[in-house]
Amino acid sequence: MAEIVKESLTDRDYKYGFETQIETEFFPKGLSEDVVHMIADKRNDPPFVREFRIKAYRHWLTMKEPTWADVSYAPIDFQEIRYYSAPKSKKEGSGPASLDDIDPELIETFNKLGIPLSEQKRLTGVAIDAVFDSVSVGTTHQEELAEAGVIFCSLTEAIHNHPDLVEKYLGTVVPYKDNYYAALNSAVFTDGSFVFIPKGVRCPLDLSTYFRINARETGQFERTLIVAEEGAYVSYLEGCTAPMRDENQLHAAVVELVALDRAEIKYSTVQNWYAGDKEGKGGIYNFVTKRGICQGVKSKISWTQVETGSAVTWKYPSVILKGDYSSGEFYSVALTNNRMQADTGTKMIHIGKNTSSRIISKGISCDQSINTYRGQVKIFPSAENARNFSQCDSMLVGDQCTANTHPYLEVKNNSALVEHEATTSKISADQIFYMKSRGIDEEGAVSLLLHGFCKDVFKTLPLEFSIEAVKLLEMKLEGSVG
Amino acid sequence: MAMLAINDLHASVDGKEILKGLSLSVNEGEVHAIMGPNGSGKSTLSKVLAGHPDYEVTSGRVEFEVNLRMRNVLDMAPEERARNGIFLAYQYPVEIPGVPNSAFLRAAFNAVCKHQGAKEVSEEAFAPILKEKCKLLGMDERFIDREVNVAFSGGEKKRNEILQMAIIQPRLAFLDETDSGLDVDSLRIVSEGVNKLRRQDNAVVLVTHYQRILNYIVPDYVHVLYQGRIIKSGKKDLALEIEEKGYDWLLKDFVN
């Protein structure tokens, strides 16, 4: 407790806002079919990937930017963005041969972010893939994972070393036609992580990818694919940060999860992209498509997200419940402060029989921010005895923020049981004073309120993540309550 | 030596002066009752003592004895006052949705522990302490699993204040209209709770409209507050006299 308090008093500003000075290779600004080919050339894409890109690009040209979310921002000029940027020391077209090849400057960058990559310092129990701008710079614990038969590497490496697997699953959960940003990502995606857990294997380590945007005027379009075969289990963690800059930067990622019979995937995110300053200047546009499919019987996919950053967020991690008796979960804490705008939630698509889903969403809006929950529960006629429970709570801090809740329920089978609960509460100065008059200081008071409000989500976070995530939330909330 | 010394205190809220030169001295082991009609400044005095930011002290002194030295209370942050042993039982306790009573009570207990240089207690170690206090006050243990004051009845809220007092063990307890809104049974239970917490080295100040609670918690001194000042002090008989005759006979000389 004492340490947390100290930290939150001194580190109130965005401590990940630094920029790494490193020689970078990047494309000129702008997007065209030529640029898409250049990306494919650069990365030595096999034909199936190149084809996927071009189809996606051509389709993207026919699409319109979505405008239905409760967010507003200046139009994005897609010709003003660079679509490729990579530290120069990296060999072209393939992942790094070994961690020894990584530029020490990059190792230092990730050290500063609390992500040690070097052999001596790396975290035990967690294997990490570090993605810097458009490329993966290294993945730890490779040998240990290989022994268990687990593949965990950058998507680039996977495309070259396991093309059959990538071809089999790429774009099967989020097709390139899915939505505007998914199409854009499919055309220009650069790196991301690939995870494959073979039949019957319980992944011996937590897997983690850390995304770092560094280069100016560059978009980040990573793509992650996780496949868990029959009876496999994996827990995957994702973290992200970016330097503080006055201009906005676009991050449009795609994540696809596939769970076969009795497989379980647990996907946790702590999103802390730079959110812009108090006046709303700068920050990341976080337009992300995350979706998993419970393909097999009794499979399970669980999303947990702690959203604390980004100027604008547009993100709905979803589960398609296709296998009978499969289950999907979505646990979310989204905190917005200053002038942040977040439109986030989930979709639970029930297709198989006896499928179940659970949605726990906690939105905290502070200052002049806008925090929207948007969730869809869809029960297909085939989904006999489907069950859903949704709980969407909003907490307001101050009187200038906005919280919206948009639940969409579509039930096409009479045997379904769908429950939705929603509450709105307010942190008031009176509550803080009441606690202070019992000897509890402001940090303690905020922490109590936060834990009280978010406990159902916090308990689903992996331990390595939860301390950091809770600290991050306390720090941001305290700045707004005080 | 006085434990609490208030001297010529002036305080206002929203620019309107409410306390106009209030003085009061409380010693260890004493029970004081502050009575007075509506709008006389009783609640303002409580809030000023607790350090509520809406109340501005314009002049005067409030001192509280800490380790045998008189300290300026007005210089202390609200949480610092609490840790040094000043407790306010609220007239309208605040609801804190989502926060379990047990977590709240433990945070308060640990704040005092830390201040006194003692080790903070874990959830496991705190459970028996809490249980014992509930028993002492005749309170249902289910109380502690509920969210702080949420969906509590009026009586339950007041009892929860006394439970907090039992946990924190303040040296000076300021009870702001703890009797208001209580039925006879609740009043008796709350009062018994307060009596059980009395010691040689602590003091209680009861702020009240009515004499009723004073049948249970017998005051050593009774003060009448009117227009922001104490206009009369006496022994417990004064309360009985007010009960019988009302306030008018005391106030007629003071109408502006």
Q: What is the pLDDT of residues B222-245, one digit of tens each?
A: 999 999 999 999 999 999 898 888
Using a CB-CB cut-off of 8 Å, the residues of chain B touching A437 are 50-51, 78-79, 81-82, 88
Contact B220, B208 (CB under 8 A): no
pLDDT category at A137 given cuts 50, 70, 90 is low
Chain B: give the shortest CA distance to residue A392, in Å: 14
* Mean pLDDT, residues A367-381 taken together: 95
Query: Out of B77, B108, B147, whose CB is closest to A438?
Result: B108
pLDDT category at A5 given cuts 50, 70, 90 is very low
Asked whether the predicted pLDDT for residue B199 surpasses 60, the reply is: yes
- pLDDT for B149 equals 94
Long-range contacts made by residues B111-115, C-beta under 8 angstroms, separation at least 24? B111/A438, B111/A439, B111/A440, B111/A441, B111/A444, B111/B79, B111/B82, B111/B83, B112/A439, B112/B82, B112/B83, B112/B168, B112/B169, B115/A439, B115/B83, B115/B84
Compute CA distances A214 → A140, A249, A284, B70, B113, whole Å. Answer: 21, 10, 12, 57, 46
* Mean pLDDT, residues A314-343 taken together: 95
Using a CB-CB cut-off of 8 Å, the residues of chain A touching B82 are 436-439
Taking all residues of chain B, what is their mean pLDDT, rounded to a whole number?
Answer: 92
* Mean pLDDT, residues A196-219 taken together: 85
Q: What is the pLDDT of residues A79-128, one digit of tens each?
A: 998 898 877 654 444 444 456 666 777 777 777 766 666 655 555 566 77
Cβ–Cβ gap A437/B77 under 8 Å: no
pTM reported for the whole predicted model: 0.83
Q: Is residue B87 within a helix (H) or strand (E), and if so which, with residue range?
A: strand B86-89
* Mean pLDDT, residues B181-207 taken together: 90
DSSP A267-325: EEEEE------TT--SEEEEEEEEEEEE-STT-EEEEEEEE---SEEEE--EEEE-STT
* Mean pLDDT, residues A320-339 taken together: 96
Cβ–Cβ gap B90/A434 under 8 Å: yes
Asked whether the predicted pLDDT for residue A357 surpasses 80, the reply is: yes
Instruction: Tell me the HSE value of A35 on the side-chain side, using a 13 A CA sphere.
Output: 21
In the three-class reduction of DSSP (H, G, I as helix; E, B as strand; rest coil), residue A386 is classed as coil
Q: Among candidates B149, B52, B140, which has minimal Cα distance to B98?
A: B149
Give the range with max mean pLDDT: A122-131, A387-396, A460-469. Answer: A387-396
Cβ–Cβ gap B94/A449 under 8 Å: no
- pLDDT for A270 equals 86
Q: Is B20 exposed, middle or buried (0-12, 13-18, 19+ CB in 10 A)?
A: middle
For A38-150, list the strands marked E by DSSP.
85-87, 126-132, 135-139
CA distance B78 to B85: 11
- Residue B174's DSSP bridge partners are B88, B205
CA distance A324 to A432: 48
Cβ–Cβ gap A435/B107 under 8 Å: yes
0.90 surpassed by complex ipTM: yes
Contact B23, B32 (CB under 8 A): no
Q: Tell me the backbone φ, ψ of residue B85, rounded to 5 degrees.
A: 110, 10
Query: Out of B88, B107, B168, whose CB is closest to A444?
Result: B107
Q: What is the DSSP letter of A17?
A: -
Using a CB-CB cut-off of 8 Å, the residues of chain B touching A459 are none
CA distance A269 to A260: 22
* Mean pLDDT, residues A46-63 taken together: 96
Chain B: give the shortest CA distance to residue A301, in Å: 27
- pLDDT for A13 equals 63
- pLDDT for A58 equals 97
Q: CATH number for the domain including B85?
A: 3.40.50.300
Rounded percentage of chain A residues whose pLDDT exceeds 70: 87
Please tell me which residue, A422 or A213, carries the higher pLDDT value: A422
Chain B: give the shortest CA distance to residue A438, in Å: 5
Please tell me which residue, A109 or B3, carries the higher pLDDT value: B3
Contact A383, A416 (CB under 8 A): yes
Domain count along chain B:
1
- pLDDT for A9 equals 31
- pLDDT for A4 equals 33
Which range, of A10-19, A76-85, A166-175, averages the lowest pLDDT?
A10-19
Please tell me which residue, B108 or A26, carries the higher pLDDT value: B108
Q: What is the pLDDT of residues A429-459, one digit of tens each?
A: 899 999 999 999 988 998 899 888 998 998 8
Q: What is the DSSP letter of B54?
A: T
Asked whether the predicted pLDDT for residue A2 surpasses 60, the reply is: no
Q: Among candidates A218, A234, A290, A229, which has minimal Cα distance to A266?
A: A234
Chain A: give the shortest CA distance to residue B166, in Å: 12
Write out the residue range of the structural domain in which residue B219 sits: 4-255
* Mean pLDDT, residues A396-408 taken together: 91
Using a CB-CB cut-off of 8 Å, the residues of chain A touching B90 are 434
Which range, of A16-30, A328-342, A353-367, B75-89, averages the lowest pLDDT?
A16-30
Asked whether the predicted pLDDT for residue B196 surpasses 60, the reply is: yes
